[in-house]
């Protein structure tokens, strides 16, 4: 079954922070989890972001970054040549799995896309 999203989920929101540096676009996003993450869950999240960076731009893996600003909040940075492509579908599918199997994500850049009530049929 294909997941359906509400109109709210389709609204494009700006990234937490974005800058261009020597032709490289670096964008930072904020994730808020429903509960504080333990050290193992934090490590799993870091590995998830690194795996995305390896697909998006393998030469920039060392520039991917995850900072836990609170036990239930993380800022992550990706670096790539441009923002086009299918990277966002891959990112959101991996985040959805993380939210379901590891720790529920209640916000991504202010959007509640991964919460149960956000996944509603379009009318």
Burial class of residue 74, CB neighbours in 10 A (0-12, 13-18, 19+):
buried
Q: Which of 122, 116, 28 is nearest to 67 (CA)?
A: 28
Cβ atoms 67, 87 nearer than 8 A: no
* Structural domains of the chain ordered from first start: 12-118 (3.30.70)
Tell me the pTM: 0.74
Confidence of residue 1 (pLDDT cuts 50, 70, 90): very low
Q: Which of 38, 6, 49, 59 is nearest to 103 (CA)?
A: 38
Q: Residues 11-33: pLDDT tens digits?
A: 444 555 556 666 777 888 999 99
The percent of the chain in helix, strand and coil, each rounded to the nearest 5, is 35, 30, 35
Q: Residues 63-115: pLDDT tens digits?
A: 668 999 999 999 998 887 766 667 788 888 999 999 999 999 999 988 887 77
Cβ atoms 85, 106 nearer than 8 A: no
- Other CB atoms within 10 A of residue 51 CB: 15
- The single-letter DSSP state of residue 57 is -
């Amino acid at each position: 079954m294909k997941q359906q999203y509400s109109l709210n989920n389709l609204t494009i929101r700006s990234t937490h922070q974005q800058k261009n540096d020597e032709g490289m676009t670096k964008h930072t996003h904020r994730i808020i989890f429903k509960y504080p993450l333990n050290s193992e869950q934090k490590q799993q999240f870091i590995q998830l972001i690194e795996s995305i960076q390896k697909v998006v731009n393998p030469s920039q893996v060392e520039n991917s970054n995850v900072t836990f600003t609170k036990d239930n909040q993380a800022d992550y940075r990706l670096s790539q040549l441009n923002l086009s492509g299918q990277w966002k579908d891959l990112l959101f599918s991996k985040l959805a799995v993380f939210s379901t199997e590891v720790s529920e994500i209640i916000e991504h850049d202010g959007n509640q896309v991964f919460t149960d009530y956000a996944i509603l049929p379009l009318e």
